[in-house]
A and B are shown apart, each in its own frame.
Chain A
Amino acid sequence: MRHDHLISARQLSRGDVETVLDRAAEFDAGERAARDGDLLGLCFFEPSTRTKMSFDTAMKRLGGDTVDMGTVESSSVKKGESLADTVRVVAGYADALVLRHPSEGAAKLASEFVDVPVINAGDGAGQHPTQTLLDLYTVRENAGLDDITVGIMGDLKYGRTVHSLAEALTEFDAHQHFISPESLRLPRSVRYDLHESGAEVREHTDLETVLPDLDVLYVTRIQRERFPDENEYRQVAGEYRIDAETLEAASDDLTVMHPLPRVDEIAPDVDETKYATYFDQAHNGVPVRMALLDLMLPDGNGGGDLA
């Protein structure tokens, strides 16, 4: 299957995902690419230092280089230029574009105006497919993607990372449990889509009952602004915090993941346990983005497999 752009994780088949993850594993194992001369345009319309650094690193490790449109404050966007115009100009400088934008649908729109591949690095509350790919890579490296049991815990209502990951896991042989306070359950539309994809949606309000069955526990942050008052927030968020003691009931092979940044939902004492995988997960962004860029940029070793 060929893709000109990567807009949403949903457009990727299981085969596509495996192609990217296999290539990422090769880069992870030290394979080099010779993409000298290739330029990646970084278009970040809202700050996301970490994602930008990760793409910048990935492109440079491939032997290529990046050009950065800079901050919105210092660019033509401030003068009222449309996104369609900005990407048409920048597309003339680069061989592919990475786009981060505060509005949903921005990457899709950008892809309609340019002839180079567009990779969505987050559009508002919409999609962030490279995060999903690096999550899947991390799951595969640690627990495999066959006959696994995954628990996703925290803010399941607003977290696009969670929706996208849960949807992607339905392509694999994964049993999913969703653990959240009642007020932050998966939205109805997401539950509906998961059902439609053939997944069984098992929801819980506490971790205790399912923890021993889990191969992977994916923790997300519960944000203060989701609650009307401080007390309620403290009380609810407190029930979804894990520490080394919580994990005593877990399987020896448990993998604990988190998209980072964390605040206090995973206590620092978990970092020292064998379960902690969230820093590896963050590092995995580089080989996964290297793989994606290598597959999507024209005329490369992997060119044509995905691009």
Chain B
Amino acid sequence: MSDPDQELRVSKIKNGTVIDHIAASQALNVLAILGIDGSGGEEVSVGMNVPSDRLGRKDVLKVEGRELSPAEVDVLSLIAPAATINIVREYEVVEKSRVERPDVVTGILSCPNANCITTAGEPVESRFEVLDDAVRCAYCDAILREDLAEHIATD
């Protein structure tokens, strides 16, 4: 069931990505994963806590001129496991996929353990094993359960 009000609130995009069925209130964290804070000039529409048949409430993101890398999709899957990703070209959805929970996420997240070797300027990407309700650093075993978005590497 589509809500006509919602259609009005979030306008169509020409080329880019629509991330739908994001867990309610996680849209800003998803933007953080994508490294989007508005300063790059991207056109972004954000719908938060909008009604959804499947999730009750959900967030929706539409980003003009941007497609997602596999590493970004991996981390996205951790905070928005039900998300669907629609690639839009010339106003048409050309590709639609659901995120899959990976076994390992590489890059993107940084280790919460300040004494972990991966935070010391070594030539390695961070690597986390994905557990049921958390991720675990492949180097120091530190567990990251909540606040994933706060540990998104900013570089």
A residues bordering B, Cβ < 8 Å?
Answer: 82-84, 101-106, 108-109, 112, 123-126, 189
Contacts and interface: CB of A to CB of B under 8 A. Distances in A.
A109 B113 contact: no
Nearest to B142: A104
Chain B contact residues: over half helix, strand or loop, or mixed? loop
Given A84-B124, A101-B117, A104-B115, 6 more contacts: A103-B140, A105-B118, A109-B118, A109-B124, A124-B115, A124-B140
A122 to B, nearest CB: 13
A149 B71 CA distance: 48
A125 B115 CA distance: 9
B140 A82 contact: no
B36 to A, nearest CB: 30
B123 A105 contact: no
A82 B116 contact: no
Contacts of B143: 189
A105 B116 contact: yes
A104 B124 contact: no
Contact of A83 (B122, B140, B142): B122
A103 B115 contact: yes
Contacts of B122: 82-84, 109
A104 B121 contact: no
B123 A104 contact: no
B120 interface: yes
14 contacts: A82-B122, A83-B117, A84-B122, A102-B115, A103-B116, A103-B140, A104-B113, A104-B117, A104-B139, A105-B111, A105-B141, A109-B124, A123-B140, A124-B115
A82 B139 contact: no
Interface in B67-113: 111, 113
Contacts of A103: 115-117, 120, 140
- Which of B138, B140, B141 is most buried by chain A, counting CB atoms within 10 A of its CB? B140
- Which of A84, A103, A106, A125 is most buried by chain B, counting CB atoms within 10 A of its CB? A103
Q: How large is the interface on B (under 10, 10 to 19, 20 to 34, 35 or more residues)?
A: 10 to 19
A84 B125 CA distance: 13
Contact of A126 (B121, B123, B141): B141
A163 to B, nearest CB: 11
Nearest to B124: A109
- Which of A82, A102, A103, A105 is most buried by chain B, counting CB atoms within 10 A of its CB? A105
Nearest to B118: A105
A126 B137 CA distance: 12
A158 to B, nearest CB: 13
B153 to A, nearest CB: 16
Contacts of A104: 113, 115-117, 139-142
B140 A126 contact: yes
Given A124-B115, A125-B115, A105 B139 contact: yes
A112 B121 CA distance: 16
B123 A84 contact: yes
Contacts of A109: 117-118, 122, 124, 139
A82 B138 contact: no
Nearest to B138: A108
Contacts of B117: 83, 101, 103-106, 108-109, 123
Interface string B120-140: 111110000000000001111
Contacts of A108: 117, 138-140
B130 to A, nearest CB: 17
Contacts of A84: 122-124
Contacts of B115: 102-104, 124-125
A108 B113 CA distance: 15
